[in-house]
Amino acid sequence: MYLRLFFFILFLKNGIIQLIDISTFLLEKEFWFMSNWKELYPMINCRRSSRKYDLSNPLSKDQLSEITDFIKHLEPLVEDIRVEYRLVERKKTTCRFGEYVLVIYSEKKPRYLNNVGYMFEQFDLFCAKMNIGTCWHGLGKPDLKEWHGLESVIMITLGNVSSKIEERDLTKIKRKDVQAFWEGDIIEEVSRSTRLSPSACNSQPWQVKQDNGVLRVYQNNKNKSIIPKKYRNFYHSIDLGIFLCILELSLINHGIEFNRVIEEVNIFEDIYLVMSYQLDGLIN
C-alpha cells in the first residue's frame, strides 16, 4: 500500500499564486535514504582502512561519478552546516597513499566535527560496498586549506584495491570489548556493530550508557591515546560522529525507532555527554 501525503509550497510568479506539490520529491528522498542506509549496514563488518592501493587500476569515470553522486545525498547529523568537498589527486596533498584524496571542508558551527564524521562515514561504507579502498586521514595537509570560505577539516584517501573488501574476521579486529565501553542494558547486535567503528589512532573514545529505554553516548577525552592532548577533542569529535552514524545504522537495521536529542556539551569535562537517544521499541 502506497500512502501518499501532499505537501505544497506556495510562491508568487507574475503576481499569481502558484501551488507546487513536493510530496513526490520528499518520498523519493525518503526512499533513497532508507534503501541506501539498509545497504550500508552490512558494510560495517567489511570496511577497513586501506593503505595499499592498486594504482595500476585507476578509478573509472563510472566509479568517480557514482561516488560524487552519492556524496550529494549524504545525510547530515546537524542541519544548516555548510560542508563542501574536493576530490583531488593524491600527489596534490601530503598523503602517502591512495589514488585520490577527498578533502572535506566545513563551516565551524557547533557540532561541525561530529557532523563531518557522521556524514563521511556514510561515504566510507558506500566505498566499501563498491569495493573501493578508503582511509580517513587526519595527518597530512591538503593542497588548499580553504575552499569557498570554509576551512579544511579532514581528508579521506581512496582508490581501487587489489583484494576484495569482504567481511573481516571479527575476532581479529583490534577493538575494546563491548563491556569496556557499554554500561547498562545491552542491545547485542547494536553494541557489536558500534564496537567496530573506526577512530583516529584507534582510540575508540566513546562510552555508552543505556537504561530505561534511553541510550546516552559520551565522548571520553581522558581515553588512553597517542594523540597529543591539544588535538584530542578535535579528532575524538570526528570519531564520535562516525560512531553515531554506525549506531544509527544499526538501530535502523534492527527496527529500533529512536528520537535523537543533541545535548549541550561541556568540552572542558574529560568525559561529556554528546547525544541521547530515546529508543521507542525499548521503553520499559
271 within 8 A of 233, measured Cβ to Cβ:
no
Least CB distance from residue 94 to ligand FMN, whole Å? 10
Binding string, residues 151-170; x marks residues near ligand FMN by CB under 6 A? ---x----------------
- Rounded to whole angstroms, the Cα distance separating 147 from 282 reads 44
Q: Under the criterion CB under 6 A, does residue 200 sit at the interface with ligand FMN?
A: yes
Q: Closer CB to ligand FMN, residue 199 or residue 210?
A: 199
**Contact residue for ligand FMN among 37, 42, 46, 48 (CB under 6 A):** 48
Least CB distance from residue 3 to ligand FMN, whole Å? 39
Q: Closer CB to ligand FMN, residue 106 or residue 210?
A: 106
141 within 8 A of 23, measured Cβ to Cβ:
no
Question: Any idea of the CA torsion for 55, 60, 66, 68, to the nearest 10 degrees?
Answer: 70
Q: Under the criterion CB under 6 A, does residue 119 sit at the interface with ligand FMN?
A: no
121 within 8 A of 242, measured Cβ to Cβ:
yes
Chain position carrying cell 549496514: 41
Q: Under the criterion CB under 6 A, does residue 125 sit at the interface with ligand FMN?
A: no
Helix (H, G, I), strand (E, B) or coil at 228: coil
Nearest CA among 71, 156, 80, 157 for reference residue 119? 71
- Rounded to whole angstroms, the Cα distance separating 274 from 77 reads 12
Cell numbers for 117, please give them: 564524521
Least CB distance from residue 234 to ligand FMN, whole Å? 9
What residues form DSSP beta bridges with 94?
none
Cell numbers for 141, please give them: 595537509
Least CB distance from residue 242 to ligand FMN, whole Å? 6
Other C-beta atoms lying within 10 Å of the C-beta of residue 232: 22
Q: Under the criterion CB under 6 A, does residue 116 sit at the interface with ligand FMN?
A: no
Which 235-254 residues touch ligand FMN, going by CB under 6 A?
Answer: 235, 238-239, 242
Assign 3-state DSSP to the chain and report helix, strand, coil percentages, each to 5: 35, 25, 40
Q: Closer CB to ligand FMN, residue 77 or residue 282?
A: 77
Q: Under the criterion CB under 6 A, does residue 99 sit at the interface with ligand FMN?
A: no
Chain position carrying cell 569495493: 131
**Contact residue for ligand FMN among 138, 147, 183, 273 (CB under 6 A):** 138
Q: Closer CB to ligand FMN, residue 93 or residue 199?
A: 199
Q: Under the criterion CB under 6 A, does residue 198 sit at the interface with ligand FMN?
A: yes
Least CB distance from residue 56 to ligand FMN, whole Å? 22
Q: Closer CB to ligand FMN, residue 81 or residue 154?
A: 154
Q: Under the criterion CB under 6 A, does residue 135 sit at the interface with ligand FMN?
A: yes
Question: How far, CA to CA in Å, does 19 sit from each of 5, 9, 26?
Answer: 15, 6, 16
**Contact residue for ligand FMN among 34, 139, 144, 170 (CB under 6 A):** 139
Q: Which residues bind ligand FMN (CB under 6 A)?
A: 48-49, 51, 135-139, 154, 198-202, 235, 238-239, 242
